[in-house]
Amino acid sequence: MVFIQEGDLRHPSQKIIPEPVPKNTQPTYVDYHVQLPPRSLREFSFWVARHLDHAQFIAPAHWVKSHHQAAQRLVQRYEQHLGGTKI
């Protein structure tokens, strides 16, 4: 999360909103808003996926759905693996 917080405009349209916390306390999350053209979904999705369960799409709805479907495929892959003899 520090990587996100310390970035001075990693993208020209970004907006970073840290969790409201008492002074001298580290936030546990940040809201990262960035406006991207539709063609950027795949590349940005790869960036979010690198953070796996520590990141979440909340808008727009088609990005949320796409990321959710990818997460479901990942769960299915692991469930198949765990159901076999390899652990």
Residue pLDDT, tens place only, 70-85 = 889 988 988 888 875 4
Could you tell me the two tokens for 77? 């892959």
Within the chain, residue ranges assigned H as helices are: 2-6, 41-49, 61-83
For residues 30 and 17, is the Cβ–Cβ distance under 8 A? yes
Q: How distant, in Å, are the alpha carbons of 1, 28, 65, 78, 79 from that of 72? A: 24, 25, 10, 10, 10
Angle at 63 between CA 54 and CA 51, to 5 degrees: 20
Looking at residue 72, its pLDDT comes to: 92
Distance CA(25)–CA(71), nearest Å, equals: 32
Global pTM reads 0.56
Looking at residue 73, its pLDDT comes to: 92
